[in-house]
Amino acid sequence: MGEYTKVYDKAQYKKALGLARGSYQQNLIRGRQAWSGADLRGRAGHWGSQYKRSRDSLLRRLKKAGIEMCWPRKPHNKLVLVIGKACPVTKAVRAELRRK
């Protein structure tokens, strides 16, 4: 996993990947792209609103599919998607995210 996603349930992770449409959404699930869109550069940055719609659409599909997820923040206010049984985020999960 990348730095923007933490997975506690592999089955839900695979299901989430199956719901992703296109490489951008797959990279969001894999944790390679920032959920805030802050890492969009060049021409992609000019299309930020379309990328936001893409993120919102993916989140709606994940929620509708019943995938457990939550959004703790790492240092410097970085959003992380947690997939799996760790939701809601416990103190132990928060401490683990801070260490990484």
pLDDT digit string (tens) for the chain, length 100 residues: 678 888 989 999 999 999 999 999 999 999 998 888 878 777 776 677 788 899 889 989 998 999 988 877 777 777 888 888 656 566 666 666 666 5
Provide the domain limits for residue 33. 5-99
Task: Say how many domains are in the chain.
Answer: 1
Task: Tell me the whole-structure pTM to 2 decimals.
Answer: 0.79
**Beta-bridge partner residues of 74:** 78
Residues 6+ apart with CB under 8 A from 74: 80, 97, 98, 100
CB 79 within 8 A of CB 5: no
- How many separate helices (H) and strands (E) can be counted in the chain? 5, 5
| Cα(17)–Cα(5) distance, integer angstroms | 12
